Chains A and B, each alone.
Chain A
């Protein structure tokens, strides 16, 4: 899932400072799971910002809402009136949610309340770690199910670099060496022969390096006839 964390309150306050009516919108999907932009986080942020306004003796209105998924237009439209009534929308979602609101209501100012950090997983309560970089060409079937692109600081494809020490990465000794983990996993699976397989240089054009990516599934797209029917039923 997408992992995000709240921006410092001072930074958020600066972004919304010129505006009087602030609508704060959270999301019940990934950012709720990583405790950054769900119901509770929106409530606490709204309270904290109200207290800041009170403390500074200024009039600023904060109202908070949480959507099922902020990255989908259908859900965003549920709070259209709240968005249109606001001077600024503070999105407590990943950047995808913030951009969805911005694209739907281009005349509205949308500011991010969270820093979108990574694709990751919850390791334990309160700990999330990166496990995918979204390179668009998955190879984990050859690496014991462990992604060397995301989990190795150098995205090495053919074994560890010289900085691997006792299973840890030279970049940060708290981080495990991805290739050490891959070796251990392949050994457990009795597939160490895969360590000898030479992986050619990676084709990065499927990653962000190839420009903005758009995926189209023609069978899932609506035909003009279906679109007309859908519009007529609204």
Chain B
């Protein structure tokens, strides 16, 4: 199979999630160009359909980044996000797809190092798993 750059989509809440990304950038931390960020008002807005659709449209891995659960700007948005990610993971397992393609992360706006860590982990996961179907899944 020819080398292909992984495709990763990250849904970031526009409060602590995106702030942590901004701070990482301002601190000179770089992240892989294969990551595409989608800004959402709150991780509670992210639905299972969004995550599955991203995979369906060609993403190798998807993550959700929200506020810390005990410090969520909208109180329970991060908890909602976590529950939906867990549900999607269970659906992926049921259809024979690696659940680690979808992950939930939390950060506060001051955790600039966190986003670099998330990005590098997700790139590793996407590179290891490759595109969906590339490993003859379910056969």
User: B137 contacts the other chain (Cβ, under 8 Å)?
Assistant: yes
Minimum distance in angstroms from A52 CB to a CB of chain B: 4
Bits for A52-72, please: 1 = Cβ < 8 Å to B, else 0. Answer: 101111000000000000000
Minimum distance in angstroms from B42 CB to a CB of chain A: 17
Q: Which residue of A lies closest to B93 (CB)?
A: A9
Minimum distance in angstroms from A90 CB to a CB of chain B: 14
Contact A9 B137 (CB under 8 A): no
Count how many chain A residues have C-beta atoms less than 8 Å from C-beta atoms of the other chain: 17
A49 to B95, CA, bound (A): 7
User: B133 contacts the other chain (Cβ, under 8 Å)?
Assistant: yes
Contact A51 B97 (CB under 8 A): yes
- Pick the contact of B133 from A13, A49, A56 — CB < 8 Å? A56
A162 to B92, CA, bound (A): 45
**A44-B133 contact given A49-B95, A56-B138, CB 8 Å threshold:** no
Task: For A49, list chain B residues within 8 Å (CB).
Answer: 95
User: B4 contacts the other chain (Cβ, under 8 Å)?
Assistant: no
Contact A10 B94 (CB under 8 A): yes
Contact A55 B94 (CB under 8 A): no
Contact A44 B137 (CB under 8 A): no
Task: For B137, list chain A residues within 8 Å (CB).
Answer: 55-56
Contact B96 A44 (CB under 8 A): no
Contact B47 A40 (CB under 8 A): yes
User: A130 contacts the other chain (Cβ, under 8 Å)?
Assistant: no
Task: For A10, list chain B residues within 8 Å (CB).
Answer: 94-95
Contact A55 B133 (CB under 8 A): yes
Task: For A55, list chain B residues within 8 Å (CB).
Answer: 95-97, 132-133, 137-138
User: A48 contacts the other chain (Cβ, under 8 Å)?
Assistant: yes
User: B56 contacts the other chain (Cβ, under 8 Å)?
Assistant: yes
Contact B132 A54 (CB under 8 A): yes
Query: Assuming A44-B91, A51-B52, what are 12 further A-B pairs, CB within 8 angstroms?
Result: A40-B48, A43-B53, A44-B47, A47-B53, A47-B55, A47-B56, A52-B96, A55-B96, A55-B97, A56-B137, A56-B139, A57-B133
B residues near A, CB below 8 A?
Answer: 47-49, 52-53, 55-56, 88, 91-92, 94-97, 132-133, 136-139
